[in-house]
Amino acid sequence: MIASLVEGCVKLRWFSAFVFVVTLWGQVSAAEDRGRSGPSFDEGSSVRPGYPPVTAAPQGEQEIINGASALPDWLTISANLDFSQRTTNLFESSHDTSLFQADSRVEFWIPPWDRGLAWGPYLRTAGISSNRDPAWENAWLAGPGVGFHMFPFSHPRLYDEDGLIAAIFGPTRLFVEWNRLEYLHSENEWRPDEQVRAGADYWRAIYVNDTTEPLWAEIWSGLFWQSANDFDADYDTVLFANAIRAGIRKPNAGALSMLTPYVLVESSLTDNTEYYWENKLVAGAGIRLTPFIRTPTNNWLTRLVVFAEYLEVVDHYHAEAPSGIPDHDFRAGISLSIGEWYR
């Protein structure tokens, strides 16, 4: 297990460096912006941006916070939703599927949430649905789930003493969760019905819907252990997965600023060397429509993109895919986030 992961990580070293450089660029840019225009939160408060309470909304906007009517400071809602049409989904040449994916958390924060670490339990609901038959495209992936998470770099002292380090690593989330699984259709009753996951993930959005900035990036990374997958209740595997999208736009140019070409790189790696679909590097390019989200809408709708992109498998880290498996995909759709899913 360790040897196969190390072998894959060696191949991933350039990709990891790329992710780090993009993240560092985003935080340096944000720090420079704060230096020019002042901090984005009340200097007299120890509340960190991106942690509960999610926003310090001006008077008159308190009714639109966390994606719902006003919520108490100890309760937040976050979600990520994606609907896309996919020609192959890297599964079969004529797959041509309409795919909907959703993941959400209702988060309960343990006090003092404004003076200490952001941590607490949460309820998770997640699912995937398509107009095709594969079980892994039609399931409740958390129906529901319960977990406990902590943001280890969320302490306000880090923002006071070294804002750049806190801003870079602030989105890092440690978690452990139990999920109830349910695969649709009677022929899938034999599949696992529960799953435990534990590890860390990182969701970061940098100027995605800010049409005044020339560059933007969107980063997801995860390193976690998972007890079951769609066909094995004793899966017991460590997964290391990453995705980055980065683009360029003409800032402050009206409607033209909403159009942005971009490149993308995705990678997944496990110790299951025979599972080619879990161990591959994918790259591609696309174009997005990214409207500027104004206040007070951005208090709950924090990310909105309409996209079209082409992906191609660059390499398999271990076993190669059979000859009949497509190595490319074209996707078009819409993706949005509610609350502080991306930070």
Q: Which residues contact 3 (CB under 8 A, 6 or more apart)?
A: none
- Evaluate if residue 16 carries a pLDDT over 60: no
Q: Which pTM value belongs to this model?
A: 0.82
Residue 72 preceded by cis peptide, ω within 30:
no
Condensed to tens digits (0 to 9), the pLDDT of residues 237-272 reads: 999 999 999 999 999 999 999 999 999 999 999 999
- Evaluate if residue 98 carries a pLDDT over 60: yes
- Evaluate if residue 29 carries a pLDDT over 60: no
Q: So what's the pLDDT on residue 60?
A: 42
Please, what's the b/e burial string for 247-256 (b: 16 or more CB within 10 A of its CB; e: otherwise)?
bebeeeeeee
268 C-beta neighbours (distance < 10 Å), count: 19
Q: Are 256 and 291 in contact (CB under 8 A)?
A: no
- Evaluate if residue 293 carries a pLDDT over 50: yes
- Evaluate if residue 143 carries a pLDDT over 60: yes
Q: So what's the pLDDT on residue 161?
A: 63
Share of the chain above pLDDT 90, in %: 68
Least confident of 106-120, 201-215, 229-243: 106-120
Q: Which long-range contacts (CB under 8 A, 24 or more apart) does 204-207 make?
A: 204/23, 204/26, 204/171, 204/342, 204/343, 205/302, 205/303, 205/337, 205/342, 205/343, 206/22, 206/23, 206/26, 206/29, 206/30, 207/26, 207/29
Average confidence (pLDDT) over 7-31: 49
pLDDT band at 67 (very low <50, low <70, confident <90, very high): very low
pLDDT band at 31 (very low <50, low <70, confident <90, very high): very low
Q: So what's the pLDDT on residue 134?
A: 93
Q: Are 50 and 79 in contact (CB under 8 A)?
A: no
- Evaluate if residue 292 carries a pLDDT over 70: yes
Tell me which residue of 64, 72, 145 sits closest to 104, measured CA to CA. Answer: 145
Three-state DSSP class for 22?
helix
Distances in Å between the Cα of 92 and the Cα atoms of 208, 275, 316, 328 are: 32, 16, 17, 10
Task: Tokens for 46, please give them.
Answer: 């120890």
Q: Which residues contact 94 (CB under 8 A, 6 or more apart)?
A: 88
Average confidence (pLDDT) over 63-88: 81
Average confidence (pLDDT) over 37-53: 40
**What distance in Å separates the CA atoms of residue 29 and residue 213, rounded to the nearest whole number?**
10
Mean of the per-residue pLDDT values of the chain: 84
Q: Are 116 and 106 in contact (CB under 8 A)?
A: no
pLDDT band at 152 (very low <50, low <70, confident <90, very high): very high
- Evaluate if residue 178 carries a pLDDT over 90: yes
Q: So what's the pLDDT on residue 30?
A: 47
Distances in Å between the Cα of 27 and the Cα atoms of 31, 39, 172, 204 are: 6, 13, 14, 10
Average confidence (pLDDT) over 326-336: 97
Average confidence (pLDDT) over 138-142: 97
pLDDT band at 116 (very low <50, low <70, confident <90, very high): confident
Stronger pLDDT, 105 or 65, i.e. the higher one: 105
Q: Are 22 and 246 in contact (CB under 8 A)?
A: yes
Distances in Å between the Cα of 252 and the Cα atoms of 213, 239, 273, 291, 319 are: 8, 41, 48, 12, 47
pLDDT band at 320 (very low <50, low <70, confident <90, very high): very high
**What distance in Å separates the CA atoms of residue 219 and residue 208, rounded to the nearest whole number?**
11
Task: Tokens for 163, please give them.
Answer: 């804002």
Q: So what's the pLDDT on residue 51?
A: 60
- Evaluate if residue 180 carries a pLDDT over 90: yes
